[in-house]
Amino acid sequence: MDKQAITRLLEQVASGEVPVEDAVLRLKMQPIQEVDEYAKVDMHRGLRQGVPEVIYGAGKTKEHILGIAKAMLANGQETVLVTRIDAQTAAFLASELPIRYQELAQAGVIGQMPEPSGKGKVVVATGGTSDIPVAEEAAVTAEALGNEVVRLYDVGVSGIHRLLSHIEEIMSARVIVAVAGMEGALPSVIGGLADCPVIAVPTSVGYGASLGGVAALLSMLNSCASGVSVVNIDNGFGAGYMASMINHLD
């Protein structure tokens, strides 16, 4: 709640337009809507046209997801992205709501798919085939948030020719999401080639000393390339969201 809003509210109180009691209520309650007892949905951002609200499905029952989604749609949302849900949950939601589910990404979009509204293209690249599910979570997220996405999969650094043969896509991106497990070197090489921000996503792909993705995470945090920042292991959603935010900057 910014200064203008507070000032305006106080002026309305001063002029008697808004009673004191109501002002207190609005100061405290306005942006939150409770869905039964199990969730407090922040309607703040969602109220702006075209930006879909997101439901993180992991750890929620399918009934709760349905309830939250309905509350969002009822609140005027045109698009609701649901991440980390399996096919069964998607089918449950599909019985009541129009959802396009993408199994590889374990994500679905309820309602209308927005037109691309970003300034440029979001490139999503992966080191290997096994990193694709995480990359798809990023790609679907970015698409649901109104971005055109270019996918470059299986371009890991141990066969540098594969990456170099896509130098054009890399050079023409506005923001790049680089997804890799194992040694996690992809963002460093891409960061050295590209002139745009790179969001690095370590994945839990690997075994033994990959320590569930920690090796790739550390590698990315220590990248010798400039213009690289990192999100949590397997956090395709976070990278797609960040990429969209950057791609929508005026």
Residue with tokens 């609200």: 53
Q: 3-state DSSP call for residue 95?
A: coil
User: Does position 178 bind a copy of itself by CB under 8 A?
Assistant: no
User: Does position 249 bind a copy of itself by CB under 8 A?
Assistant: yes
Enumerate residues 192-231 that contact a copy of itself by CB under 8 A: 192-193, 195-197, 199, 202, 204-231
Interface residue with a copy of itself, options 49, 90, 130, 150 (CB under 8 A)? 130
Minimal distance, residue 148 CB to a copy of itself, in Å? 15
Give strand ranges (E) for the chain: 32-35, 39-42, 53-56, 79-83, 99-102, 107-111, 121-126, 148-152, 175-180, 198-202, 228-230
Enumerate residues 30-89 that contact a copy of itself by CB under 8 A: 30-32, 37-40, 42, 44-45, 54, 58-60, 64
Nearer to a copy of itself, 101 or 153 (CB): 153
125 close to 153: Cβ distance less than 8 angstroms: yes
User: Does position 92 bind a copy of itself by CB under 8 A?
Assistant: no
Q: How far apart are CA 79 and CA 37, in angstroms?
A: 24
Minimal distance, residue 92 CB to a copy of itself, in Å? 18
Q: How far apart are CA 218 and CA 222, in angstroms?
A: 6
Minimal distance, residue 101 CB to a copy of itself, in Å? 19
